[in-house]
Amino acid sequence: MRRVHAGRGWQWIKEAWRLIRPRFGLVLGTVLLMYVLLFVASMIPMIGNIIAPILAPFLAGGVYVILRRVREIEQRSRIEPLASEQPISFDLLFSVFKDPAPRKALLWLGFVSIAFSLALLLVVATFVTVKLSGVDHSMLTDPSANDEQRIRFLIPYLMDPDAWALWIGILIASVAYSMATFFAVPLIVLRGETLRSAFSQSFSAVGRNWSAFLVYALVLFVLFLTVPITLMLSLILLLPLIVTSVFVAFEDIWNDSPVGGDADRQDQGRVLQERTSTVM
């Protein structure tokens, strides 16, 4: 793991687009299929909210496996141009399910995701219960009341000064959780890390490179606002870029592949050629 300068945040996005541009349809289809499957899983009555978080790390791991394959072919094509014609199967999206090595860590990652969400809901529910003690809150259980009326009733209690400490605490916990899980899946699937090690390394990587992630977030925000199409379509088109940029950032921080200009890529191509020549 290494520390990178702030400008890398922009480079991650540029490199992500360069990487997926020749195979944009494949990456777009893979990412959309992942989200469609998660949506369908979440709609299963009673157990959907449990199944979807457990499936998510496995499907995300499959996307990273596909991106690693795209990278391998892209590197190989620098010394063997015909390598760029190699097909990549959508079946790789489900390859992590068949691999026993990361299975335990990914399952626990899904359980941790469920536990974290439940913990936040429990904290909010406890706060609301305490605030409403001694207050007539029959509207919340009144079958004739609609959701808008219930929300209007709750807003004053959720926005009072006491609630701000709650929201700040939830925000801090959510940021810490996001830092710990940001690179967790690629660390487990691509580097074989345990869940604890993945959490620790991901948290440290994001913390050490906060300036690069700040630039990264600002650039994505600007892209999201400037794409001249409808909100939903812009999100769909940007999703492959976002997922790939996370993969590129992972490569860069763990020094698995240089990210930058043509000189870096040419140097990597020469190293790859030398290794191939040595093996042959």
Question: pLDDT by residue (tens digit) across 142-152?
Answer: 777 777 777 88
Query: Quick one: CA dihedral 215, 218, 220, 222, positive or negative?
Result: negative
Q: Which amino acid is at 183?
A: F
Residues 161, 171: Cα–Cα separation, whole Å? 16
What is the DSSP code string of 162-178?
HHHHHHHHHHHHHHHHH
Place of tokens 């600002």: 218
Cβ–Cβ under 8 Å, residues 177 and 118: no
Residue 231, pLDDT > 70, answer no
Tell me the CA end-to-end span of the chain in Å, nearest whole number.
Answer: 31
Which of these, 58, 70, 13, 54, lies nearest to 34 by C-alpha position?
Answer: 58
Task: Give the three-class secondary structure for 106.
Answer: helix
56-76 pLDDT per residue, tens: 999 999 999 999 999 998 888
Model pTM?
A: 0.83
| Structural domain boundaries in the chain | 8-279
Residue 257 has a pLDDT of 55
Confidence of residue 256 (pLDDT cuts 50, 70, 90): low
Residue 8, pLDDT > 50, answer yes
Residue 95 has a pLDDT of 92
Residues 66, 30: Cα–Cα separation, whole Å? 9
